[in-house]
Copies of this chain bind each other. A is one copy, B any other.
Amino acid sequence: MEKQFIFEQVKEMWNNSIAFNSLLGFNITEMTEEHAEIKFNWQDKLMGNPVQKILHGGVTASVLDMVGGVVISANMISRIAKPDHKKIADKLSKLSTIDLRTDFLRPGKGETFIATARIIRHGSKVAVARMELHNEKGEHIAFGTGTYMV
């Protein structure tokens, strides 16, 4: 299988079948070995306080965790020799987040949010990604760093 074709399939699967991502409206829009992107739109159910139209901090942490996991999954897949469905599923079943740090820079205001991730440590046991969250105006809302078991 072609690498980019596999990424497309995984992207589709995750966009359609991870319950929590559907609930929050997360849509994976890019998945490569080095970079990933998730977009989502404002919805009132994402409000973190009773009065202000601001994202709940948990939404921010969730999307950063997810987008970091996407780039790391792509990286894991790209290292499989002669990938097939079984090998890919086996490999992905090993992915889990070890720890996640979220730095909140500005209130999460906006209509559309864009979370991006790039990989900063590849490894056979552990990988690390750095993530960012911006709104549609390019305002920088949060930073994240995630350490993942691979």
Contact = CB atoms under 8 A, between A and B. Distances in A.
B125 A105 contact: no
Contacts of A96: 104, 107
A98 interface: yes
Contacts of A99: 99, 101-104, 128, 145, 147
Nearest to A21: B56
B50 A58 contact: no
Contact of A125 (B48, B97, B149): B149
Given A99-B147, A149-B126, A58 B47 contact: no
Nearest to A50: B17
Nearest to A105: B121
Contacts of A120: 103, 105, 140, 143
A2 interface: no
A61 B50 contact: no
Max chain B Cβ within 10 angstroms of own Cβ: one of A57, A63, A147: A57
B126 A143 contact: no
Contact of A58 (B58, B101, B145): B58
Interface of A: 13-14, 17-24, 44-50, 56-59, 61-63, 65-66, 96-105, 107, 120-121, 125-126, 128, 130, 140, 143, 145, 147, 149
Closest 6 CB pairs of A and B: A58-B62, A61-B61, A20-B56, A17-B50, A19-B47, A125-B125
